[in-house]
Amino acid sequence: MHSNRYRLEYPLGEETLVINTLNGAIDVIPNELIQYLHKLPELKPEDMTREQSDAISYLHSRNYVYHSDAEEERLLERATVFARKSQVMQYVICPTYTCNFRCPYCFENHEIHNKLSLLTDEQLNAIWRAVDYFHRDSGLKQGMFNLFGGEPLLPFTRSIVEQICEKAVELDFKIGCNTNGYHLPAFLDLLSRYRDRMKLTVTVDGPEDIHDQRRILSSGSGTFQRIEQNISAALDCGLPVLVRINIDRTNIESVSLLVEHYMETGMLGRPGFKLHFAPVTDHTCQSTGNTIMQGIEILRHLRTSIPNLDELERQEQVLVGSDMYRYIYAVSKLDPDLQQKTIPFLPNIVFCESVQGRKITFGPDNHVYACADLIGRPEFKIGDYYPDFELKEWKWEKWKAFNSLTIPQCRGCSSAPICGGGCAAEALVVHGHLDQPHCTHAGDKVMSYLDSIRDELIKI
């Protein structure tokens, strides 16, 4: 008999809030029972009092105690199954690393944005051969091409973009496109042909004065008005547009103003138009951490500053992704402001699709990357696709094995089932290998969050 190592404890005076990070159970338990839990290794069933035995039975029913190692292993096996839940193989294709924007928070080095690069037809044919290999290896039926960059929609990328879209039809893949939207009109006739399989994402980071400080042309000029016109033109063509708002401390106060703007102009409510709130991240460790906010911080602020956010979500005009709940979604149901929006608990032993073996990126530099955040950094490639396809199998296997139950430093951590081992790209940048994590300190983040709602917890 042993106690579940995957639990967090938050003291509440004479009681303790206990979070089972493996199955999502949350209990407020008298400290006397908590002492039994702590002393469990010393207790022998034959020496227990009736009171102790009843206490242990209750803790067992909530999966804080196991009668055998096999019980815990079964739950860990289930967590591993959940980790492979994605059924879509994603192929990120960068027609170019060139970009006409110079966004201050971009994770890519602006040096590669300055250089003129473009996939050739020969490279694209080599990518198709690589896609065939990875798709057969994945065993998945569904696939998606994601146009990425740099900026994928530049005047000189049209031919390559068209070939990628045609290949998507041939393979019956979906198409995603992450664009700054500046040259969108030059592609509308092309993209409209594929509207039934197209997911177009355009970034707008606030009302005009804020956006124009963050989404900047290489010349230093603002871009808001032109992008807004281009989004409207795309909607006129029947193309659905997801407007992504990258949020950090420098623009959080203005997000509600942008929502108001879209409501006043009638954009919000038009068929195909949706907003997506997303936190700015620093997975390549470029020292933007002082402006970064945890997703839950952002979400709570938005629920205060946008009074009709719940209604906009119900109407699916606004999307709040699960990344807003990262690390704390097991306990967010304790927050009165978030109870109605809590997503179902699933163990999260992997951080993203890249360590699920469900995402591959191809750059115009002939290299294959396991993560799009690392494009243009050949020291982190997992192989080449041109002139010959050469995959460094050991690197690819390292990526696919990177999770919080296989990393030795993570497996015994109480936060392992909600952490996923952290971002593999961060681990590579910081350590140069995937043999250890770049720790997320997920447990500390949960404790800090619980501190912020302590007054409500005491009422439980």
Asked if 419 and 442 count as a contact pair (C-beta separation under 8 A), the reply is yes
Q: Which residues pair with 245 in a beta bridge?
A: 277
Q: Which residues pair with 201 in a beta bridge?
A: 178, 242
**CA geometry: angle 267, 268, 271, nearest 5 deg:** 85
The CATH number given to whatever domain includes residue 114 is 3.20.20.70
Same domain for 76 and 98? Answer: no
Which structural domain, as residue segments, surrounds residue 42? 2-81+445-458
Both tokens of 78, joined, read 């289930």
Q: Is residue 432 part of a domain?
A: no
- Round to whole Å and give the CA distance between 364 and 376: 9
Residues 65, 94 within the same domain: no
Domain annotation covers residue 61: yes
User: Is residue 29 domain-shared with residue 144, that is, in the same domain?
Assistant: no
Q: How many domains does the chain have?
A: 2
67 and 184 inside one domain: no
Asked if residue 365 is part of any domain, the answer here is: no
Q: Are strands 142-147 and 174-179 parallel, antiparallel or unpaired?
A: parallel
Specify whether 180 is located in the same domain as 70: no
Do 20 and 101 lie in one domain? The reply is no
pLDDT at position 233 over 60 = yes
Q: Is the pLDDT of residue 215 over 90?
A: yes
Q: What pLDDT, on a 0 to 100 scale, did the predictor assign at position 23?
A: 86
Judge whether residue 243 has pLDDT over 70: yes
Q: Are 456 and 335 in contact (CB under 8 A)?
A: yes
183 vs 373: CA distance, rounded Å: 23
The reply to whether 165 falls in a domain is: yes
- Same domain membership, residue 328 and residue 229: yes
Does 47 reside within a domain?
A: yes
Q: 341 and 218 share a domain?
A: yes
Distance, CA of 303 to CA of 323 (rounded, Å)? 16
43 and 96 inside one domain: no
> Over pLDDT 70: what percentage of the chain?
97
The pTM (predicted TM-score) of the whole model is: 0.93
**pLDDT class for 70, splitting at 50, 70, 90?**
confident
pLDDT at residue 137 is higher than 90:
yes
Residue-wise DSSP of 404-441: TTTSHHHHT-TTHHHHTT--HHHHHHHHSSSSS-----
Residue 368 counted as domain residue: no
Kindly state whether residues 186 and 271 are assigned to the same domain.
Answer: yes
Residue 260: predicted pLDDT: 97
Q: Provide DSSP, 15-41.
A: EEEEEETTT--EEEEEHHHHHHHHHGG
Please indicate whether residue 454 or residue 347 has the higher confidence score (pLDDT).
Answer: 454
Model confidence pLDDT, tens digit, residues 96-127: 999 999 998 888 888 899 989 999 999 999 99
Per the CB < 8 A criterion, the answer to whether 415 and 422 are in contact is: no
Residue 290 corresponds to which tokens in the numbers above?
């002082």
Q: Over 70: is that where the pLDDT of 289 sits?
A: no
Q: Do 224 and 186 fall into the same domain?
A: yes
Q: Can you give the C-alpha Rg of the chain in angstroms?
A: 24
Show which of 356, 382, 401 is a domain's final residue. Answer: 356
- Whether residue 372 lies inside any domain: the answer is no
Contacts of 54 (CB under 8 A, 6+ apart): none
**Distance of CA 324 to CAs 152, 204, 301, 382, Å?**
27, 18, 12, 30
Q: Which pLDDT value is given to residue 200?
A: 98
Report CA-CA distances (Å) from 382 to 219, 270, 284. Answer: 35, 42, 17
pLDDT value at position 254? 97
Query: Residue 385: inside a domain, yes or no?
Result: no
- With beta carbons less than 8 A apart as the criterion, state whether 283 and 425 touch: yes
> In terms of domains, do 192 and 237 share one?
yes
Given 327, 356, 385, which residue is the final one in a domain? 356
CB 207 within 8 Å of CB 254? yes
Domain end among 312, 341, 356: 356
